[in-house]
Amino acid sequence: MRKQNSKSILITGVSRGLGLAMAEGFIARGHTVWGCGRSAKAVDEHRRRWGAPHQFDVVDVSRDEEVRAWAQRAKTAGFVPDLLLNNAALVNHNAPLWDVSADEFDQVIRVNISGVANVVRHFLPLMLPRSKGVIVNFSSGWGRSVSPEVAPYCATKWAIEGLTRALAEELPKGMAAVPLNPGIIDTDMLRSCFGADAGSYPSPKEWAKGAVPFLLTLWAKDNGRALTVGEEG
Ligand SMILES: NC(=O)c1ccc[n+]([C@@H]2O[C@H](COP(=O)([O-])OP(=O)(O)OC[C@H]3O[C@@H](n4cnc5c(N)ncnc54)[C@H](OP(=O)(O)O)[C@@H]3O)[C@@H](O)[C@H]2O)c1
């Protein structure tokens, strides 16, 4: 069902976790979702589950050329995001910083920071002519505090806070960029950090019941605000 005030929503990292739960929630409310992930299997399942006007693509956000081609396809299709959710991210395997390999460290930086910049670089120019739209860069409690064994991840989420607040100062009037701490949710990422204890936190579906309507309320006045799901107001 597509409704009159249907928004066009771009979500990175829709294979599973929060990205998938948001895609389900927005589509159920009549909005149009374009999403990406690295998993061809997940993208294929989403394509079979949701046809046009929704669109799912295999895109690795850390690869600038793939993001460029994705944005070009959006431009050709006339898809301009009203809401751009930079959700895709990785966490390092729990370890003290000195035991994290250079490859793993670089990969976390490439996805969590460069990936966000790549998406902004190629999709923001589609949004600018309308001076309208909201960019939400997923941060974390670990973008505002720290814990041991997740130093690379913390570094990226603190970076997202700064990157987003600086971007907010660059945007024309009418647009917004916000760093968002989604809260603590039982996803693969949380299982990697917390093990079985992750089971005591809400599922992505439960989380999305509050997060999806909240995300739809964001607008120009929120520009530059560091937000947290469940602490809106
Ligand atoms: N869960 C929490 O409690 C929590 C707390 C604070 C912040 N967050 C943030 O919330 C966001 C979602 O987290 P989550 O818990 O849902 O994580 P998740 O369950 O690990 O899911 C991550 C998603 O990102 C995708 N992804 C990873 N690397 C990618 C890449 N290079 N290109 C495109 N897609 C990629 C994954 O799909 P593929 O593997 O198919 O690519 C997957 O769909 C992240 O930004 C995370 O840092 C989560």
Per-residue pLDDT reduced to its tens digit, 56-109: 999 999 999 999 999 999 999 999 999 999 999 999 999 999 999 999 999 999
Annotated catalytic, 153?
yes
Condensed to tens digits (0 to 9), the pLDDT of residues 7-41 reads 999 999 999 999 999 999 999 999 999 999 999 99
Residue 84 phi, psi dihedral angles, 5° rounding: -115, 115
Helix, strand or coil for residue 106?
A: helix
What mean pLDDT do residues 154-174 have? 98
Q: What is the pLDDT of residue 233?
A: 59
Q: Give the residue whose CA is nearest to atom 41 of ligand 1.
A: 38
Q: Which residues contact 84 (CB under 8 A, 6 or more apart)?
A: 9, 10, 119, 120, 123, 124, 127, 133, 134, 135, 136
Q: What is the pLDDT of residue 2?
A: 53
**Helix ranges (DSSP H) in the chain:** 17-28, 40-49, 64-77, 102-109, 115-127, 151-170, 188-194, 204-217
Q: Give the residue whose CA is nearest to atom 7 of ligand 1.
A: 140
Q: Give the residue whose CA is nearest to atom 13 of ligand 1.
A: 18
Residue 81 CA, ligand 1 centroid: distance in Å: 20
Mean pLDDT of the chain: 97
Q: What is the pLDDT of residue 228?
A: 98
d(CA 109, CA 116): 10
Residue 12 CA, ligand 1 centroid: distance in Å: 8
Q: Output the six-digit token pair for 74.
A: 């959006």
Atom of ligand 1 nearest to the CA of 192: 20
Q: Give the residue whose CA is nearest to atom 46 of ligand 1.
A: 89
Q: What is the pLDDT of residue 74?
A: 98
Condensed to tens digits (0 to 9), the pLDDT of residues 31-67 reads 999 999 999 999 999 999 999 999 999 999 999 999 9
Condensed to tens digits (0 to 9), the pLDDT of residues 215-229 reads 999 999 999 999 999
Whose tokens are 């969590």? That residue is 112
Percent of the chain scoring above 70 in pLDDT: 97
Whose tokens are 């956000």? That residue is 61
Does the pTM surpass 0.85? The reply is: yes
User: Starting from the edge strand earliest in sequence, which strands make up the sheet with 8-12, in order?
Assistant: 55-58, 32-37, 8-12, 83-86, 133-138, 175-181, 227-228
Residue 197: pLDDT over 70: yes
What mean pLDDT do residues 112-123 have? 99
Hey, which of 107, 189, 231 would you mutate to test ligand 1's pocket, going by the most ligand atoms within 8 Å of its Cβ?
Answer: 189
Among 123, 138, 142, 153, the active-site one is 153
Q: What is the pLDDT of residue 127?
A: 98
Task: Find the residues whose C-beta lies inside 6 A of ligand 1.
Answer: 12-19, 36-39, 42, 60-62, 87-90, 111, 115, 138, 140-141, 182, 184-185, 187-190
